[in-house]
Amino acid sequence: MASITFKNVVKQYASGKTVNKVIHGVDADIGDGEFVVIVGPSGCGKSTLLRMVAGLEVISEGEISIGDRIVNDLEPSERDIAMVFQNYALYPHMSVFDNMAYGLKIAKVPEADIRARVDKAAKILELAPYLQRKPRELSGGQRQRVAMGRAIVRQPQVFLFDEPLSNLDAKLRAQTRLEIQKLHAELGVTSLFVTHDQVEAMTLAQRMIVMNAGRMEQIGTPEQVYSRPETTFVAGFMGSPPMNLVQGLADASTFTVDAQALPLPAAAPRHGSLVLGLRPEHASLAGAGEAGWPMTVEMVEMLGAERLIHGRVAGVLFTVRIDATLAAPKVGDAVALVVPPQHLHWFDATTQQRVT
């Protein structure tokens, strides 16, 4: 196993006036045995960053180290990594056993060692009954496990996962997430996992890197990223539904949005133009006679154990999550929102950075 270090890593295509920079100076340290998820929207550079670790993309500037080796100029085969792709990339004419063993045979590993490694990986992934089947005889989840097994038998220093669950349905995704968690707990291999799915990121990561337009917006544990986002992008991207973000003018006791003054339960960190953030689950509907922020209800979504109340506060779209056992308002109702002071987040309106 080994750590991974990014030092001012840049990726750009072309040069001069036509230069297109897609990764803008990423710095991060991933510890030995750590499971880190790189999450962000499509086109943010997360897969490009992963492919630079794998050696499938050339690093334009900076350094990537695996363990104590700078790998910028090393071929992928020399980096001691194993990669699991979005598509399973299995050989259709080979059995499960042969798919998992193929890389070891090419590396001229002794036959007895190949058998032992494949049998061990098949046991971990519950593939032992399927070793003689062809990929066409397997479900999507089983094929993805074969792809993971092919990586496991390599016994690499680093696992790289490039959106490996994207082709699975919701139930299989949840099941395979659990298998990946158990796999990491058993093997303890340093892992980088790329996804655009925040649920995958929150459930799998020991730490996560949130990417936006080629820049690292925040790195931290899922709890840190969710409860203390460093930018409005992170606040709006992590969480489903996302954090409510409202821009206005703050003073000692009120937050004015489009000429409507909303009373603050606690003073803003400073006066002037700010963005206020509040997660849907942290607001609640006021009781009879209780004061709060006025909201006009526009839609109510029933989601089993909870309801989402969508409306407008001072003309801005706002969402509140309530328990399904509570009476829900109707479309067109005017309700009041109770806003707890400990759950307010403040961001600079210009830089979009967190204000403390």
In this predicted model, what pLDDT tens digit does every residue of 218-237 receive, in sequence order?
999 999 999 999 999 999 99
Of 20-24, 84-88, 195-199, 232-236, the poorest mean pLDDT is in 84-88
Cα–Cα distance measured from residue 145 to residue 149, given in angstroms and rounded to the nearest whole number: 6
d(CA 87, CA 89): 6
User: Residue 60: which CATH number?
Assistant: 3.40.50.300
Rounded (to 5) percent helix, strand, coil in the chain: 30, 35, 35
| Tens-digit pLDDT profile for residues 145-192 | 899 899 999 889 999 999 988 878 888 888 888 888 988 998 899 999
Half-sphere exposure of 302 (CA within 13 A, CB side): 7
Q: Is the pLDDT of residue 85 over 90?
A: no
Domain tally for the chain? 2
Q: Say whether both 110 and 185 belong to one domain.
A: yes
Residues 6+ apart with CB under 8 A from 67: 2, 3, 157
| pTM attached to this predicted model | 0.90
Residue that the structure tokens 């407008």 belong to = 312
Q: Would you say residue 348 has pLDDT above 80?
A: yes
- Give domain status of residue 356, yes or no: no
Tell which of 184, 203, 231 closes a domain. 231
Name every residue whose Cβ is closer than 8 Å to that of residue 191 and which is 6 or more positions away in sequence: 34, 35, 36, 158, 159, 160, 161, 184
Residue 355 falls inside a structural domain: no
The verdict on residue 155 lying in a domain is yes
pLDDT bracket for residue 27 (50, 70, 90):
very high
- Of 231, 264, 285, which one is at a domain's C-terminal end? 231
Peptide bond into 241 cis (omega under 30): yes
Domain of 25 in residue numbering reads as: 4-231
Residue 289 has pLDDT above 80, yes or no: no
In percent, the amount of the chain with pLDDT more than 70 equals: 99
Q: Is the pLDDT of residue 201 over 90?
A: yes
Is the residue at 13 inside a domain? yes
SS3 173: helix
Residues 110 and 62 grouped into a single domain: yes
* Residues 201-215, mean pLDDT to the nearest whole number: 95
- What is the band of 290 on the pLDDT scale with cuts at 50, 70, 90? confident
Let me know whether 219 and 253 are in one domain. Answer: no
pLDDT at residue 19, as a whole number: 84
Q: What is the pLDDT of residues 105-150, one digit of tens each?
A: 998 999 999 999 999 999 888 899 999 999 999 988 889 889 989 9
Helix (H, G, I), strand (E, B) or coil at 325: coil
DSSP state of 68: T
Residues 157 and 76 in one domain: yes
CA dist., res. 105 & res. 259, Å (int): 72
Beta-bridge partner residues of 192: 36, 160
Average pLDDT over residues 195-202: 92
Residue 188 lies in a domain: yes
Q: Are residues 75 and 193 in the same domain?
A: yes
Q: Which residue bears the tokens 């154990």?
A: 305
pLDDT of 280 higher than 80: yes
The predicted structure's pLDDT at residue 18: 79
Tokens of 242: 């996302």
* 199 lies in the same domain as 247: no
* Structure confidence at residue 17 as a pLDDT band (50, 70, 90): confident
Domain-embedded: residue 353:
no
The verdict on 246 and 219 lying in the same domain is no
Sheet of 306-313, strand order: 284-285, 334-338, 293-302, 306-313, 316-323
Per-residue confidence (pLDDT) for residue 166, from 0 to 100: 83
Among residues 187, 210, 231, which one ends one of the domains?
A: 231
State the chain's mean pLDDT as an integer: 92
The H helix count followed by the E strand count for the chain is: 8, 20
Identify whether residues 173 and 65 lie together within a single domain: yes
In a domain, 199, yes or no: yes
Answer whether residue 14 shows pLDDT above 90: no
Pair (194, 296) in one structural domain: no
Angle between helices 111-124 and 140-152 (to 10 degrees): 140
Instruction: For the chain, give the percent of residues with pLDDT over 90.
Output: 75
Q: Both 164 and 278 in a single domain?
A: no
Residue 84 included in any domain:
yes
Answer yes or no: do 138 and 194 share one domain.
yes
Nearest-CA neighbor of 1 among 39, 45, 33?
33
What is the domain-level CATH number for residue 323?
2.40.50.140
Same-domain status, 27 and 121: yes
The distance of Cα 46 from the centroid of its chain, to the nearest Å, equals 10
